[in-house]
Structure 1
Amino acid sequence: MKKPYIICHMMISLDGRIDCAMTEHLPGVDDYYQTLEALSVPTTVTGRVTAQLEMALPGTFQAKDPTPVGREAFSKKAGAPGYEIVVDTHGRLLWPDAGEAEKPLLILTSQQVPREYLADLDSRSISWIAVGEERIDLARAAEILAAEFGVERMAIVGGSAINTAFLDAGLLDEVSILIGAGIDGRGGMPAVFDGRAMDHPVTLLHLTDVRKFDSGAVWLRYAV
């Protein structure tokens, strides 16, 4: 299987929480972007919940005709060194027309997405991949990203569900964690990986590098 080299890169509090509204106040938040750049990952991947909070337009897409596309397909609207990939299984997020962004938007959906939604993305010159009958087939999507979009390295940058989905699909090559010098402590806040069954076995990692920053942040890199 030919796929990109895939890194999960996250900033966390000392207690392992990743809430963006919290981490942006941690000492070392500037180090997060420096470490992301150091990883040389032109393409980044964001889950639907994070994208809805930070990237998409308000509201959700309402299809007049819910007929699904029902087959594997993709549409490449822009060739670029890297893409801003958003995972949106059912095609709910709203987007403005594509501009001249350095990293063009690419939406990843399942084959259950309405044809009408994909047509809307096409009309806005936004690239997309529809793959997987009921849920997104991440392994197949990775193959398409490598073969059709030329993606060689990419970083999963949140949140918990998408991080865990790539981990459970066996697609992560590396986990990169920047620990900010602070504690969250609020109950119920998301962790880097979350949602596995209670009897799921532990995923073992191999530590490859540790770096300390003047901010008090610590950067840990693990091979999966």
Structure 2
Amino acid sequence: MKPKVTLLMITSVDGRLHPSRFTNSPDGTRRDWSAQYEKIHATLKADAWLVGRVTMAEISKAGPHAPSQSIAVEKPLHIAGRSEGSYAVVLDPSGKVHFKPGGLGGDHVIVLLGRKVPDSHLAELAADGVSYVVSEKTDIDIAAMLDILGREFGIRNLVLEGGASTNGAFLAAGLVDEMRILVAPAIDGGENVQGIVAYGDGLAGKLTLQLKSADILDHGVVQLHYAVLPPSTERRD
């Protein structure tokens, strides 16, 4: 069973996703915006969060390392453990993200991998206590991966947190149920800076957004809550 997927992002008024580049807040600090993000994240009561390769590499900060002993490689699924809190999931088609043993802040790590990822990388993940799912198709079938997360790990509510290409892939595949976009009172303004969603030639004709609510949070942040519907779905009031 596919988990419910909520796309949660914080953005500047001009749609960019790196707060370190934003103009200053009226309070003089950007940390207040992050606090609003974490507050909304907590209200979602998710049992997993998912990011793309680039974002996870920035979080894990680990380099490649060979296992200290021979490890048997399992395919397509290796379950290294279960989480008492939440799961940290990464979409990493080429197997480029590495991890340190022990998970991430107490969250058990699950990696979604492409079919051509070498056994040496799978062995490294297994040695570090990381679970993984290897695609059985040439291109990763994200819907099938989500079904495995629900069936094998009991994940029912997943928060999607980018980056832009990962968000775009999920939206294009019709796998996002709702979006919660937090708009900070700030502007990035840089040229050639990626926004919160990126997908090939765009997403025109692939989905419809229905506004559910717009709420003013602390420190000038606005939360926009949308249901994500198929393109042919009529508006439901």
Displacement of 1:185: 0.7
Q: How does 1:1-224 map to 2 (within 5 A)?
A: 2-22=1-21, 25=30, 28-57=33-62, 59=63, 73-80=76-83, 81-98=85-102, 101-197=105-201, 200-201=204-205, 203-224=207-228
Query: Partner of 1:65 in structure 2?
Result: none
Is residue 65–residue 124 contact of structure 2 (8 Å, CA) maintained in 1?
A: no
2:189 counterpart letter in structure 1: G
SS at 1:44's partner residue? strand
Return closer, same or farther for 1:111/1:180 CA change in 2, 3 Å cut-off: same
1:74 counterpart letter in structure 2: L
- What root-mean-square deviation, in Å, do the aligned CA atoms of Structure 1 and Structure 2 show? 2.3
2:101 counterpart letter in structure 1: D
2:182 counterpart letter in structure 1: L
Is residue 103–residue 130 contact of structure 2 (8 Å, CA) maintained in 1?
A: no
Identity %: 28
Query: What TM-score, normalized to structure 1?
Result: 0.87
Q: 1:72-123 CA deviation, whole Å, 9 max, x = no partner?
A: 6111111124200111111112211125843111111011111111111111
SS at 1:183's partner residue? coil
SS at 1:143's partner residue? helix
2:77 counterpart letter in structure 1: F
Is residue 165–residue 198 contact of structure 2 (8 Å, CA) maintained in 1?
A: yes
2:14 counterpart letter in structure 1: D
Return closer, same or farther for 1:214/1:199 CA change in 2, 3 Å cut-off: closer
1:201 counterpart letter in structure 2: G
Q: Which runs of 5+ in 2 are unaligned?
A: 23-28, 67-72, 229-237
Between the aligned partners of 1:199 and 1:147, the Cα distance in structure 2 is 29
What number of residue pairs does the alignment pair up? 215
2:100 counterpart letter in structure 1: P
Return closer, same or farther for 1:110/1:198 CA change in 2, 3 Å cut-off: closer
Between the aligned partners of 1:209 and 1:56, the Cα distance in structure 2 is 37
Answer with 1 or 2: which has the greater Rg: 2
Return closer, same or farther for 1:20/1:199 CA change in 2, 3 Å cut-off: closer
Return closer, same or farther for 1:76/1:20 CA change in 2, 3 Å cut-off: farther
Query: What TM-score, normalized to structure 2?
Result: 0.83
